[in-house]
Structure 1
Amino acid sequence: MGCTDGQNVLYAAYKFIGGASRWWETKKELLDQELRGAEITWACFKKEFNDRFFSRAQQLCAKEFHNLVQGNLTIELYAAKFMELARFALNLVPDEESRTERFQEGLHPRIRDRVTCFEIKDFTKLVNVATIAKRGH
């Protein structure tokens, strides 16, 4: 909407209630001292907010991603769950090739055996080939 960083921070903080509001009052004072009165950027605000309210949840999602395998899921459900959780584990799958390799490792062994020989480096293509391989299962 063309808002400045300062306006974004003010609006987000305005929407806080209860404990979140009290947390922000304290955090804002600390940041004001640290920044010596400079404007709190939107990036700084988001980092502080996420560290305070989502750190544990993000860790749990990253752990779930680390342990994710296809198991009894369909290829489509496995791919959806994989993509949903991958954003919490970007250090494990920072690019297309590593994402594709990790997905392939988690496939059911019979399907993985059928697709490994193709050496696919594109995630979408791998999902499609694995779906076809599953049909031939």
Structure 2
Amino acid sequence: MLTGEAEHWWRGTSQMLIDRGVVVDWVCFKRAFLEKYFPESVRRAREAEFMRLQQGEMLVTEYAMRFEHLARFYTQAISKAWKCRMFGEGLKYDLRRVVVPMAITKFPALVEKANVVERLESVGKPVKTVGGPAGSKSSGGSQRKPYDRTQQ
């Protein structure tokens, strides 16, 4: 499936590996490909980004996708429970305080619960509007307010 420069590179690299007596399998290809096209410095930067990742203004679904994407670059073994803890700790406080005490250790279940809580939290929040009702601005200081009983 490689084309252009990558195809040319792989033909030469695979032949060199075969000449050395190396078994060329998927693991071998992946290692050689990453060394060539995805340097260690970039992998380390992605790993650091993963460790700092917070939900911020992202929706839970967006955060989960970014989390899963960056988790691939983490070089240590990741247990299911640790992955869930990391994800939970990166959630917004309003979601984290509800979801983390549930101690969910299955990632899809955790994401689903966070989504449910996010939807419930957004239902209770008032919609922000800019300005007030039409015609509410005063055209001078003499307009009576409906609650002002002193001006009768």
TM-score by length of 1: 0.68
Question: How many Å separate the matches in 2 of 1:90 and 1:122?
Answer: 21
Q: Does 1:125 find its partner at 2:109?
A: yes
In structure 2, do the counterparts of structure 1 residues 134 and 16 end up closer, same or farther at CA, with 3 Å as the change threshold?
closer
Q: Does 1:70 find its partner at 2:55?
A: yes
SS in 1 for 2:98: helix
In structure 2, do the counterparts of structure 1 residues 83 and 23 end up closer, same or farther at CA, with 3 Å as the change threshold?
closer
Which residue identity is paired with 1:85?
L
Q: How high is the sequence identity, in percent, across the aligned residues?
A: 28
Indicate the RMSD between aligned Cα atoms, in angstroms: 2.7
Which residue identity is paired with 1:122?
K
Question: How many Å separate the matches in 1 of 2:26 and 2:116?
Answer: 45
For structure 1, the residue ranges without an aligned partner over 5 or more in a row are 1-11
> Structure 2 matches for 1:86-125, cutoff 5 A?
86-89=71-74, 91=76, 94-125=78-109
Displacement of 1:34 after TM fit? 3.9
Which residue identity is paired with 1:79?
A
Moved more, 57-66 or 79-88: 57-66
Displacement of 1:102 after TM fit? 0.6
In structure 2, do the counterparts of structure 1 residues 43 and 136 end up closer, same or farther at CA, with 3 Å as the change threshold?
closer
In structure 2, do the counterparts of structure 1 residues 44 and 135 end up closer, same or farther at CA, with 3 Å as the change threshold?
closer
Question: How many Å separate the matches in 1 of 2:65 and 2:100?
Answer: 20
Displacement of 1:122 after TM fit? 1.5
Q: 2:29 aligns with which of 45, 62, 66?
A: 45
Which residue identity is paired with 2:12?
E
Following TM superposition, the consecutive aligned residue runs of length 4 or more in structure 1 with deviations greater than 4 angstroms are: none
Displacement of 1:28 after TM fit? 4.3
Question: How many Å separate the matches in 1 of 2:68 and 2:13?
Answer: 36
2:46 aligns with 61
SS in 2 for 1:132: helix
Answer 1 or 2: higher relative contact order, Cα 8 Å, separation at least 6.
1
TM-score by length of 2: 0.63
Total equivalences in the alignment: 120
